[in-house]
Structure 1
């Protein structure tokens, strides 16, 4: 291919930027911009320009800069995303972001993100601000035209992965065009790829399940440090929020309906960009061999879902249920893709995307999960670990937890045990009292539906255990015999059963921890 007059400036700017991965990421963003504004190549409202003095490639919408990549004087590659000034307060807490007005009196700002903080490009709040701004810029009364300075090949590179790859190759090797034009065959050096895949040795779809306080969410922290996606499910969470959906928007008093991508779609985008693709379309348009090689060698990207069973999981995942299977993912042996119902885009789940979720077994049983989903996820149980607990004021917290959980498992089941996390921060007797008052006893009330006799059994406060009355955390307040009931009501109630009422130890309830001796807890697991 011999570079023409429009291709050559583009090739030169890509060479100036000197970062193929950053260029591909920029063109992926540019493809999203094109899809959102829905303007064809050559439309007077749209101009993609290349500027030699700033070593930049810029997208303009109606005289406004909307997106830019640039590198000046060998400094770090920068991405500039335009947002409305009113959005700045929503982003001020992100210290790595730099804000720059487009002009002195402009209502818009450029958010500048360096290559070292490239993960910030995919923060949902920033993307929402940017996307909202693009839709406003399209409707502004400050029209083009831009045809005189529009570089049509920038638009083409955003839409055509093969063409983008070609100009990147030309930027990397300036002699390539001459060799091709002279009729010489260009031999590609054989890539020295490793035979073994670089993907982690873990299930692609994993659910960590167990009782509360067993460290399920804590186990996600190492993934969060790598800037992966995180979401917490709730009962009203839907497919439209997770994959894509149509949402109403009001602009200049007019209601319009736009297709918005959900966090799962964006996670898949981030994963394929780790493999060097700009968009999912680029990935799907590539050859099977290239796609398989790239996705197997790409860094892993994680989507983390907390409290996965609190949503209607089968409804949220919808038609993706088949695509989640390891052998059906893009880059796998039996890869599949489908057409999304709203955007009509082809969509697949890349091989380097890993889904890790947590599930609280007291919230809903595993048996209630959709059987098709259960087959596609691996399950790893996380149980209480008393061995990490120590001794506080002569109270063996490990033995205390073991005894309480053994009693709960007998009276209920193993899914309702109490996790070690309830005690890991306890360092003093007062803190232990607070944990029982504010967390353990209310949890037991919920477990046993205020059956105080069973709560007494769990805490060793039942009379047969031999605890002194003053040491009991749950005490009998009063027993109503027939005589006492007649005195209370003036007559005998219909029920003739003996009624017993209970109360929490007043010293514990009133936070008088000095009145609660250590023996009150020791005697939970140690019989007199």
Structure 2
């Protein structure tokens, strides 16, 4: 009976506050507070309570108020975060903050933030001051009669998002009674919108050589759609992608908190598009409602640039199965799992689209994890010479075709040069600069400084017929047996004829006026 009284009091205060977003944000702060102070539900130093005389929910640590939400009758929802008085100077530069004394002689003050300035709740300096204060309050010797007024349902709602969702639904619709908390589902009205089916795979990787416009292809998603963007790197991990425990130093003490990654946040954004506040709400809904709402919801895109630079199998971990179209939330064979750190239920909604890019010169598709390749569609993006024009007598389109045909013959198709290397060429100097700083260094990397092959690609080999001064890569010196003998004082037994090379000195010195147009025209014209 006592639990029902606690529950009903909390539901009434949520109803009095009357702002679902503000309530969820406050309970998110409560969860942070619990993680920081690391006290269990029922500890005498901790009290979460409601105030009947006001639309207020309060968290006390020992004798002190630590956090509060309230809805004054004639103003917006307010958040009160307790900080030490000594923090006022550090926070004075933030004009929107209002300071309110807790008691006349207290060493602490409340920072009051209205709903219109809610972004300040995550202001780094304020967060640091608040978190440091929480750790100090835990160690205080001033104890209050907390067990008498503690409402354990508030603690449980902060720890369990599904529980909070149920309480908020009861606050929103009192006619539901206990049916929500007893596990019965309630039909919700039809979503007031419908969208056209998206004509692309839910999991897609754009792959090809560098400079073919793979990253550029992500721009429409960023400009026109709800999207999240991340670039993978070799040290990227599951803990950063989904969730993980991160150490933080606050007040000279190390604490460990669970941080959500971009994949988790993208899934959350996707279900928001379907009208769900949390993943718990989505998973607590009936399969029929979930299917209908997610199928009608607008898409959210998770864009992963350079997807193959990370250990993809390690980054996705046990979520790789949930990416399959028929295993997603709302699909026929939907699945979810329990996350290892937070122990929350988690699934991938069907309106989340994962689009990645992959540079084939870094790693071949054949080297990707087979499980990943089976779950993603792959779309090749190759160089497109047709987008290039003629600049000062040089046909850039034909120049690129010739370079790539030679590279494909000597190496493979994955190491071609993308059209993006030449799209911004306006003058002869631009072309020289691109070859000096981008294309020739790229060829050096491709061929491991095998200059004879680089000459073949550039048409600088003697048989192609370029004038010596027109070549971009020159023969610096040929070492015959006689020349080697002069160099070493003897003829090395293991040396036959050695040829050394250098880049055209005019090109190397950026004296581009001395580099003739024929140096580029005769790459493709004999």
Q: Which residue in 2 is equivalent to 1:100?
A: 97
Give the CA deviation at 1:5.
Answer: 5.7
Distance in 1, matches of 2:317 and 2:222, equals 26
TM-score normalised over the length of structure 2: 0.79
Q: Which residue number corresponds to residue 184 of structure 1?
A: none
- Cα drift, residue 511 of structure 1: 0.4
Counterpart check, 1:463 vs 2:462: yes
Q: Kindly provide the CA deviation profile for residues 493-525 of structure 1, in whole angstroms up to 9, marking residues without a partner as x.
A: 113421111110000000001111222111111
Once the two structures are superposed, residues 375-418 of structure 1 have per-residue CA deviations (whole angstroms, 9 ceiling, x without a partner) of: 00111111111111122111111111111111111111110011
In 2, Cα distance between equivalents of 1:350 and 1:98: 41
SS at match of 1:491: coil
CA contact (8 A) 2:11 2:168 kept: no
* Distance (Å, rounded) in 1 between the aligned partners of 2:10 and 2:369: 54
CA distance, structure 2, for counterparts of residue 140 and residue 520 of structure 1: 73
Distance 1:36 1:269 in 2: 21
Give the deviation of 1:339 after TM superposition.
2.1
- CA distance, structure 2, for counterparts of residue 80 and residue 433 of structure 1: 62
SS of 1:202's equivalent in the other structure is coil
User: 1:200 corresponds to which residue?
Assistant: 198
1:232-282: CA deviation from partner (whole Å, max 9, x where unpaired)? 222222222222233333344443433333222222223223333333233
Q: Secondary structure at the match of 2:97?
A: strand
2: CA distance between counterparts of 1:366 and 1:66? 52
Alignment of 1:330-345 (within 5 A): 330-345=329-344
Q: 1:289 to 1:102 in 2, by over 3 A?
A: farther
3-state SS, counterpart of residue 445 of structure 1: helix
The CA deviation at 1:436 is 0.5
Q: How many residues align?
A: 493
Q: Cα distance, 1:434 vs. partner?
A: 1.0
Q: Does the CA contact (< 8 Å) of 1:58 and 1:65 recur in 2?
A: no
**1:365 aligns to what?**
364
Q: Which residue of the partner structure matches residue 162 of structure 1?
A: 166
The reply to whether residue 7 of structure 1 matches residue 6 of structure 2 is no
Distance (Å, rounded) in 1 between the aligned partners of 2:99 and 2:48 = 17
The answer as to whether partners of 1:83 and 1:110 remain within 8 angstroms in 2 is no
Q: Over residues 35-79 of structure 1, what are the superposed CA-to-partner deviations in whole Å (9 max), with x where a residue is unaligned? A: 6356666766454668999xx87665645665869799898x999
> Equivalent residue for 2:104?
none
Q: Tell me what 2:183 maps to.
A: none
Change (3 A) 1:264 1:223: same
Q: Tell me the residue number matched to 1:235.
A: 234
Taking a change above 3 Å as real, the CA distance of residues 275 and 253 of structure 1, as seen in their structure-2 partners, is: same
Tell whether 2:228 aligns with 1:224: no
Q: Which deviations, in whole Å up to 9, do the C-alpha atoms of 1:436-491 show, x marking residues without a partner?
A: 10110000000011111111111111111111111111011111122222222221
Moved more, 315-324 or 434-443: 315-324
Match of 2:182 in 1: none
Instruction: Give TM-score, length-normalised by structure 1.
Output: 0.79
Contact 2:242 2:260 in 1 (8 A): yes
Conserved? CA contact 2:473–2:501, under 8 Å = yes
Which one of 136, 140, 149 corresponds to residue 140 of structure 1?
136
Distance, in Å, in 1 between the alignment partners of 2:459 and 2:109 is 67
- The answer (yes or no) to whether the contact 1:330–1:349 under 8 Å persists in 2 is yes
DSSP-derived class of the 2:190 partner: coil
Moved more, 369-378 or 241-250: 241-250
Question: How far, CA to CA, are the matches of 2:83 and 2:309 in structure 1?
Answer: 34
Report 1:386-397 matches (<5 A): 386-397=385-396
Aligned-partner Cα distance in 1 for 2:398–2:412: 19
The CA distance in 2 between the partners of 1:385 and 1:106, in whole Å, is 65
Structure 2 unpaired stretches of 5+: 102-106, 180-185
Distance 1:391 1:35, change over 3 A: farther
Q: 2:294 maps to what in 1? A: 295
Q: Give the conservation status (yes or no) of the 8 Å contact 2:235–2:310.
A: yes
1:184-217: CA deviation from partner (whole Å, max 9, x where unpaired): xxx98863667x7656332121111111111111
Q: Give the conservation status (yes or no) of the 8 Å contact 2:81–2:110.
A: no
Equivalents in 2 of 1:224, 1:71: separation in Å? 40
